[in-house]
Amino acid sequence: MADESRGAQPKHPQQLFFDNVNPATRLLEKRRQMYEVQDALENQKARFAKEEEQFRKKEEQLRAKDLQLQHQLCRFNKFLQDNEAKRRRADTRATEEAAQIRQKDEEIQDLEKQLEDSKNLCAKLEEEKERNMKYEEFLEFVKDTCDDYTEIGEIVARHDTLESANHDLANQQTESETRIEDLRNEFQAYRKEQEMEMMELRNKVAVLATELDSCQKTRQQLENQVNEATQEDSRHSLYFGQILMSVENLFLRCTTKRKNIQHATTPMDDEGAKGREGENGQEEAEDSFRRKKEHAHRQLKVILAYLKDFKDICDALKREQRTVMSKKGQAGLDQAVQLPELAIKFEAEAPRGGNRGSENSGSQ
């Protein structure tokens, strides 16, 4: 077919070369070539259509063969699945039958073992029967010789009763021994517990004795500190009394020897003292100390006022001396201005009655 297609192919027209021809001839030549190319194209299209038809038929044949192969493959796959299912069922059945065979074999072995045990038990019972025949003969002899029992059953019942009583007594003995052992263990545990408690109490007593010694030492130290604080307080009280007496002497000297200046009658800043006088819940000793302190504070303020006046007087005298010296001239400048020094003496004050003595004794 390929040879036929190659033989059917048209030959390309030969191209003629006209170098010296007119345009009409050349146009005719071009048209002739175009017709030839058109015929060749039509022939090529017919050939391609024929080949396409042949290819389509081959494709349909291949598609049909493919479908046939798919159907055969499905049937073969189904066949394989059925065979696999049958094989699995056969394997399962074989496994189950093997298990049943093993179970039956085990049951046969168990039954054979039970049969053997039963035979052995029968033999043992037979031997025990033969051994117990002498006891039966003995019981028959006892029944015939003793008038208390008329049947062998009565003798057996009596034996069972005595055996039951013996068993009960043995159980009671065992229970009593167990109870005695429990009581002994409880006693030992209680004894150990009491010994541990006694040991703990001894340890606590030792610890408390140590704490008591420590507390006694601490109390002795605190008593010593209290005695020292009491002595220190006595020294401070003495020093405070001396200060109060000195302030009182200065106050009396300022107020008695300079009667023309009365700073003691000038109201001082006692608002804080008045506010504190109204407080409640103060002890008597602290209240007395506070009153003495406030009284001394007021006296010190008065003494300060007198000292300020004295300082002002001194400053005024110095200014007057400078004025006088400036009037006298250059000669008077060489003279030194000496101011009289204020001689401060501490005079012992005569006792003024019982109130002053009580204050001094309180300060001491």
Of 318, 319, 309, 308, the residue nearest 339 (C-alpha): 318
Distance CA 359, CA 352 (A): 11
Note the pLDDT tens digit of each residue in 192-239.
999 999 999 999 999 999 999 999 999 999 999 999 998 988 888 888
pLDDT for res 6: 47
Residue 306 lies in a domain: no
pLDDT at residue 356 is higher than 80: no
Which sign, positive or negative, has the C-alpha torsion 317, 321, 322, 324? Answer: positive
Mean pLDDT of the chain: 78
State how far the Cα of 361 lies from the Cα of 135, in Å rounded to an integer.
125
How many other CB atoms are found less than 10 A from the CB of residue 314? 13
Give the count of domains, the chain: 1
Contacts of 301 (CB under 8 A, 6+ apart): 268, 269
Does residue 268 belong to any structural domain of this protein? no
Biggest CA pair distance of the chain: 182
In a domain, 25, yes or no: yes
Flag whether 267 is in a domain: no
- pLDDT-derived band of residue 288, with 50, 70 and 90 as boundaries? confident
Of 157-171, 235-249, 288-302, 325-339, least confident by mean pLDDT is: 325-339
- Give first-to-last CA distance, the chain, whole Å: 158
**H helices within the chain, ranges in order?**
2-8, 23-145, 152-256, 271-277, 284-328, 354-363
Q: Which domain holds residue 75?
A: 2-104
- Identity of residue 212: L
Which of the residue ranges 48-52, 286-290, 331-335, 352-356 would you say has the lowest mean pLDDT? 352-356
Distances (CA, A) of 302 to 111, 170, 289, 292: 135, 115, 20, 15
Q: pLDDT tens digit string along 300-338?
A: 888 888 888 888 889 888 888 888 888 775 555 455 444
In a domain, residue 280? The reply is no
Write out pLDDT tens, residues 24-42. 888 888 888 899 999 999 9
Is residue 156 in a domain?
A: no
Whether 351 and 357 have beta carbons less than 8 Å apart is answered as yes
Tell me if 321 is assigned to some domain. Answer: no
Nearest to 301 by CA among 260, 255, 239: 255
Model confidence at 114, pLDDT cuts 50, 70, 90, reads very high
- Look at residue 20 and tell me if it is in a domain: yes
